[in-house]
Amino acid sequence: GYMTDPVLGEQWLVRKYNSAGLLLWSRLYDVPVAGAADRATGVDTDNAGRIFVGGWETTAAQGKNWRIRMYNPDASYPGWFFPSYDNPDSADDIADSLTVDSFGRVIMAGAEDRTLSSQGWNWRVISYNSTSGAQLASVTYDSPASLDDRAFAVVADGCGNLIAAGMETHPTEGINRVVRKWGPDGLILWTVTESGAGADADEVRLAGERADDGEVPDDADAAPPERQRVGVARSTLHRVA
């Protein structure tokens, strides 16, 4: 998550607890841009107990960029970074979900602002080698109308395929659910779309709350780009799996 400092702005906050809920350690991460907004939005562990945290950081010239940091089980930081991600327009990039799979990959999903290219917000999904940090595959999705689209959740199946769920904005249907599946090499395998039928923001927020409570919404969809609920996308992934 993140914490807000009156001088430094928003900083990543990573905390580890034991099975009884007792705090073991806590770490902050802040970029050298005064008062900037930096948020951790996803976390997962590998079989060795290493902790991978993903989110975004604010830069001086490129807006918000994706960032992944890895911590050892004892909270020590090895001192190397995964490469940050800045989209071709050098506009904002927002990471929403991170997962570590059994093939030694760290996978992030979110959105990138391609407004300067007349595409609105697009999906972005990237997989990395969890040991070297090298990028393995990078895929994007721009809906047919080139309006705002965003991926909220990502998983990998037993064959190493990437599956992401999120939303697209349709000019007449409103916000649609979308699930896309790619091979390990980033080649698209299939896409499933569920029409939003003009769902408004209040319906979307309610659907997200129901999904967070373990319910699968049948008639509402993900919220607009800055206020959507990840639970809706996760519930869609469960329905497709």
Compute how many other C-beta atoms are within 10 angstroms of the C-beta atom of residue 18. Answer: 8
pLDDT at 14 over 90: yes
Q: Which pLDDT does position 187 carry in this prediction? A: 97
pLDDT at 213 over 80: no
Distance separating alpha carbons of residues 99 and 109, to the nearest angstrom? 9
131-154: pLDDT as tens digits = 999 999 999 999 999 999 999 999
Residue from 110, 189, 188, 182 nearest 151 by CA: 110
Mean of pLDDT values over 168-191: 94
17-33: pLDDT as tens digits = 999 999 999 999 988 78
Angle between helices 201-212 and 230-240 (to 10 degrees): 60
Distance separating alpha carbons of residues 71 and 49, to the nearest angstrom? 9
Q: Which pLDDT does position 24 carry in this prediction? A: 97
Q: Which pLDDT does position 197 carry in this prediction? A: 57
Q: Which pLDDT does position 112 carry in this prediction? A: 97
181 alpha-carbon distance from chain centroid: 16
CA distances from 200 to 166, 175, 205, 220, 221 (A): 16, 8, 9, 8, 9
HEC profile of 191-207: EEEECCCCCCHHHHHHH
Please say whether the beta carbons of 69 and 202 come within 8 A: no
Q: Which pLDDT does position 239 carry in this prediction? A: 45
Q: Which pLDDT does position 7 carry in this prediction? A: 83
Q: Which pLDDT does position 205 carry in this prediction? A: 34
| No. of helices (H) and no. of strands (E), the chain | 2, 14
Q: Which pLDDT does position 2 carry in this prediction? A: 92
Residue 36 banded pLDDT, cuts 50, 70, 90: confident
Q: Which pLDDT does position 33 carry in this prediction? A: 82
CA distances from 193 to 68, 88, 178, 185 (A): 30, 27, 5, 22
Residue 221 banded pLDDT, cuts 50, 70, 90: very low
208 alpha-carbon distance from chain centroid: 16
